[in-house]
Structure 1
Amino acid sequence: MRMGLAIDASCDLPQDFLQQHNIAVMPIAVRVDQSTFKDNRDPAEVQRFLSLKLGSRSHSAETEPCSVEDVQKLFLEKLVLENDCVFCLTITATRSPIYEHVVKASFAVLKHYRQVREPAGMTGPFLMRVMDTRSLFAGSAPCVVEAVRLMQADETPAAIRERLAYIAENSYGYMLPRDLYYLRARAKKKGDRSVGLFSAVLGSTLDIKPLLRGYRGDTSPVGKVRGWEHGCETLFQYAADRVRAGLLVPVMCTAYGGDLDELPKLPGYDKLVQACEEHGVTLMQAPMSITGMVNVGEGAVTIGFAAEEHPIDF
């Protein structure tokens, strides 16, 4: 059985990994002022976004996830002809409508795929499995990496679905935003009251940064640190400790909302590199999606991994 993967653009993974495993990306349209971007994880498009230096204006951006019709088109014109089963992995349904869009599109795809496959001499059934990773940004990456491993091991669709559901339930996505004012402005734009003005002013005045976590569909602050550099060190030290404690998927995913060459230079990153090397864990580096940057601001750092439930102590 030929199996494939599709993800939405806000799942932060390196472009070479996506290309190597022929992973389809469901794009997100982003409009800032008079500029329009197609967020499909293309490094050139990310660089174009960064080079325009839209800065604080990005908080007013309009984002439009891949529509139901666009998902149907992607599958019926391409994926049903290349695969017998496709797993669609999206960021948490509590923060984006993309999961709902893909579920709705799956009904039409499963109804009409025979009309596309049979003229091409493909008479077997086609399976489409839609899964919520329960996290966001780099936190969605462990599910995708594990799906690739399971497919390469020729596991059955049922076994893959069961394992990915377990990984999604135990996936963690952490983020350190750089600009609280930006984060509040974006939250206000989306009607999200999670970052109040008082908190933003106080945090910026005292240089206090929140550590945010995406876990089991919930996104909320779980700690705070004083100063950007100390925040980086704290986040990467925590990631290194999780590597040493053991991961469910041997990968630590990192993403940065800016020039990716800056990520390894951040305080504490070298210790995470060392921990991954010592424990046989693959350390991935990816640019944050354009969608991610307009939602949380440029310069944010995220990490993602899958591990058994554990206490948090920042």
Structure 2
Amino acid sequence: MRIGMAIDAACDVPQGFIEDNGITVMPIKVNVNGESFLDDRAPAEIARFIARKLGDRSHAADTEPATAEDVQQLFLERMVGEYDCVVCLTIMATRSPIHDTVIRASFAILKNYRPIREAAGRSGPFLMRVVDSRNIFAGAGPMVAETARMIREGRSPAEVRERAARVADASYGYLLPRDLNYLRSRARSKGDRSVSLFTSMLGTALDIKPILRAHRGETGPVGKVRGFEQGAQSLFDYAARRVQAGLLVPSLSLSYGGDLDVMRDLPGYAALVRACADAGVEMLETPMGITGMVNVGEGALTVGLACEDHTASF
């Protein structure tokens, strides 16, 4: 059985990894001040967004995830004739409608696929498995990496889906914003009052940065640090400790809202690279997608890993 994988564009994984594993990206359209960007994780489009230096204007951007009709068309045109089963991985359903959209699209896809498969010379039914990563941005990386590994090993659709769901439950995504006022403005534009005016003003005045965690469909602060570089040091040190303690998936994801060389110059990065090399852990590094930068601001850092339950301290 030939199994494929589809992810939505807010899952931060490197373009090379996407190409090497034949992953299809469900795009998100982003509109900023009359200018449109298609977030399909293409490096050229991400670079164009960064080069435009939209800055704090992006917090009012409109994002348009793929509709059920878009997903249906994508699968019927590109995947039904090539694969016998496709595993769809989405960012957390509590923060994005894309998971429910793919579920709705699946009914139409499963109703209309037969003539397309027959024309492509493929026999047998077409299957879809939709899994909520229960995480965001780099936090979805370990689940994507593990799903790709299971597919390469020739595992059954049931095994792939079960393992993906298990990794999703064990995944931790951490976010360090560079601009707290931007994060507050973006949250307010979406009706989210979780970052208060007082908190953002105090944080800006004192250069206090929160470390936010995404885990099992929930997001919230788990620590605070003085300054972005100190925050990066704390986050990289934490990730190195988890690597040394042992990960459920031997892959660690990093995404940064800008030039990756800036991220690699941050304190603690080199030590994390050494810890991963010593433990045989693959590092998946990528610029943050356009959707991520619009929602949390340019210059933000996210880290994703999958491990046993634990209490993080920063």
Please give the TM-score of this superposition, normalised by the length of structure 1: 0.99
CA distance in 1, matches of 2:195, 2:311: 24
* Equivalent-residue separation in structure 2 for 1:186 and 1:7 (angstroms): 24
1:232 is the counterpart of 2:227: no
Partner of 2:96: 96
Q: How do residues 140-155 of structure 1 correspond to structure 2 at under 5 angstroms?
A: 140-155=140-155
The separation in 2 between residues aligned to 1:78 and 1:43, in whole angstroms, is 21
Shift of 1:262: 1.4
| Cα displacement (A) at 1:123 | 2.0
* 1:57-206 superposed matches below 5 A: 57-206=57-206
RMSD of aligned Cα (Å):
0.7
In structure 2, give the amino acid aligned to 1:282: E
Q: CA deviation at 1:283?
A: 1.0
Q: Distance in 2 between the 1:74 and 1:85 partners?
A: 14
Aligned residues: 314
CA drift of 1:144 comes to 0.7
Aligned-pair CA distance for 1:175? 0.5
Q: Determine the structure 2 residue equivalent to 1:49.
A: 49
CA apart distance, 1:121: 2.0
* Deviation of 1:261 (Å): 2.0
Indicate whether 1:256 and 2:256 are aligned: yes
CA distance in 2, matches of 1:263, 1:223: 20
> d(CA) in 2 for partners of 1:122 and 1:299?
46
Corresponding letter in the other structure for 1:231 = G
Amino acid at match of 1:25: V
**For each residue in 1:99-126, what CA deviation from the matched residue of structure 2 results, as whole angstroms up to 9, or x when unmatched?**
0110000000111110211122222111
Structure 2 residue matching 1:220: 3-state secondary structure = strand
Q: Tell me by how many angstroms 1:167 deviates.
A: 0.4
Distance between the aligned counterparts of 1:72 and 1:159, measured in 2? 25
Is 2:3 aligned against 1:3? yes
Unaligned runs of 5+ in 1: none
State the one-letter code of the partner of 1:293: M
Q: Using the TM superposition, name which of 26-35 and 157-166 deviates more.
A: 157-166
Q: Quick check: 28-37 or 254-263, which moved more?
A: 254-263
The runs of at least 4 consecutive aligned structure 1 residues that moved more than 6 Å come to: none
Q: Give the aligned partner of residue 282 of structure 1.
A: 282
Matched residues in 2 for 1:159 and 1:16: separation? 25
**Letter matched to residue 8 of structure 1:** D
Deviation at 1:97, TM superposition (A): 0.4
- Superposed CA deviations along residues 164-216 of structure 1, whole A, max 9, x for unmatched, are 11100010100000001000000000000110000000111111000001100
What is the CA–CA distance in structure 1 between the aligned matches of 2:85 and 2:33, rounded to whole Å? 40
Partner Cα distance (2:256, 2:237) in 1: 17
Bigger Cα displacement from structure 2, 32-41 vs 262-271: 262-271
Q: State the 1:134 CA deviation.
A: 0.5
Q: Which amino acid aligns with 1:137?
A: F
Corresponding position of 1:214? 214
CA–CA separation in structure 1 for the residues paired with 2:181 and 2:130: 35
The letter of the residue matching 2:267 is P
Give secondary structure in 1 for the equivalent of 2:81.
helix
Counterpart for residue 299 of structure 2: 299
Residue by residue over 1:55-102, the C-alpha shift from the partner in whole angstroms, topping out at 9 and shown as x without a partner, is 000000000001100000010011001100100000000000000110
- Report the CA distance between 1:159 and its aligned residue: 1.1
Q: Which 10-residue stretch deviates more, 111-120 or 218-227?
A: 111-120
Identity across matched positions, percent: 60
- Give the secondary structure class of the aligned counterpart of 1:80: coil
Aligned twin of 2:33: 33
Secondary structure at 2:80's aligned position in 1?
Answer: helix
Q: Provide the secondary structure at the position in 2 that maps to 1:81.
A: coil
**Letter matched to residue 84 of structure 1:** D
* 2:243 alignment counterpart: 243
Residue ranges of structure 2 left out of the alignment (5+ in a row): none
2-side partners of 1:40 and 1:34: how far apart?
19
Amino acid at match of 1:205: A
Paired with 2:232 and 2:47, the residues of 1 have a C-alpha distance of 23
Query: In structure 1, how many angstroms separate the alpha carbons of the residues matched to 2:26 and 2:285?
Result: 20
SS in 1 for 2:309: coil
In the alignment, residue 215 of structure 1 is paired with which amino acid? Answer: H
User: What secondary structure, in the 3-state scheme, does the structure 1 residue paired with 2:103 have?
Assistant: helix
TM-score norm. by structure 2 comes to 0.99
Per-residue Cα deviation, 1:205-263 (whole angstroms, up to 9, x for no partner): 11100000110000111110111111010000000000001001001100000012212
Query: What SS does structure 2 have at the residue aligned with 1:187?
Result: helix
